[in-house]
Chains A and B, each alone.
Chain A
Amino acid sequence: DAGVIQSPRHEVTEMGQEVTLRCKPISGHNSLFWYRQTMMRGLELLIYFNNNVPIDDSGMPEDRFSAKMPNASFSTLKIQPSEPRDSAVYFCASSRTNEKLFFGSGTQLSVL
């Protein structure tokens, strides 16, 4: 299995620009998670989907953040407009319901 695939691996953008992060979960997994890692807060859950439906988005920091899962094999996390404090590593992860979590390699986002 190819594992969880995220793109891009690195994103450098200017403040105010729109950023879109992409994720392809492991085939057969029905839960998908977006996490953000920072030095200050560690690994924070932003949102998770079960069977393509958003279940808990209480971790999404602001309305500038949105996530979609149009089908079982694709999800996006969008930040519009981006700000320097959004700079972090964003991880996508997937699992079967109530089973172990598998992470992608992450997207390193730098907002200048």
Chain B
Amino acid sequence: DQQVKQNSPSLSVQEGRISILNCDYTNSMFDYFLWYKKYPAEGPTFLISISSIKDKNEDGRFTVFLNKSAKHLSLHIVPSQPGDSAVYFCAASAISGGGADGLTFGKGTHLIIQP
């Protein structure tokens, strides 16, 4: 039973446009959410996170939005760049602060930025 769902296995976006990656969760105990980015032949690296007390967190070109009532979060990348092509994993934690020992990951979305 997938508690964190990324329903789009892949997404193709033109360079310069906005990329929107979506994530849904089922466990109402989750209160901290993270996005990890993974390049081929490398391990995932932390990108951005959000606590359940917020509905938006921004870091440069990356913004994460959280809709608790819908149990939905999204990652926006504006503008998209070729180096953003990677697999993006959504993760959720029931531990305050997003403790690593409580993380549940989605299956990932492969983002392809086309020139």
Asked whether A31 lies within 8 Å of B101 as measured between CB atoms, the reply is: yes
Q: How many residues of A contact B (CB 8 A)?
A: 27
Within 8 Å CB of A41, what residues of B?
107
Task: Contacts A43-B108, A98-B95 given; indicate if A48 touches B43 (C-beta within 8 A).
Answer: no
Within 8 Å CB of A44, what residues of B?
105
Asked whether A105 lies within 8 Å of B43 as measured between CB atoms, the reply is: yes
Query: How far is the CB of A61 from the nearest CB of chain B, in Å?
Result: 16
Tell me the complex Cα distance, A99–B96, Å: 10
Asked whether A105 lies within 8 Å of B100 as measured between CB atoms, the reply is: no
Asked whether B99 lies within 8 Å of A97 as measured between CB atoms, the reply is: yes
Nearest residue, chain B, Cβ from A95: B100
Chain B binding surface SS class: loop
Nearest residue, chain A, Cβ from B97: A98
Q: Mark B1-25, 1 if CB is under 8 A from A, else 0.
A: 0000010000000000000000000
Query: How far is the CB of B4 from the nearest CB of chain A, in Å?
Result: 9
Tell me the complex Cα distance, A35–B6, Å: 18
Which residues of B does A touch, CB under 8 Å?
6, 41-46, 89, 95-101, 103-108
Which residues of A does B touch, CB under 8 Å?
4, 31, 33, 35, 39, 41-45, 48, 50, 55-56, 91, 93, 95, 97-106
Known: A45-B104, A91-B43, A99-B97. 5 other contacts (CB 8 A): A4-B43, A42-B107, A43-B89, A50-B101, A55-B101
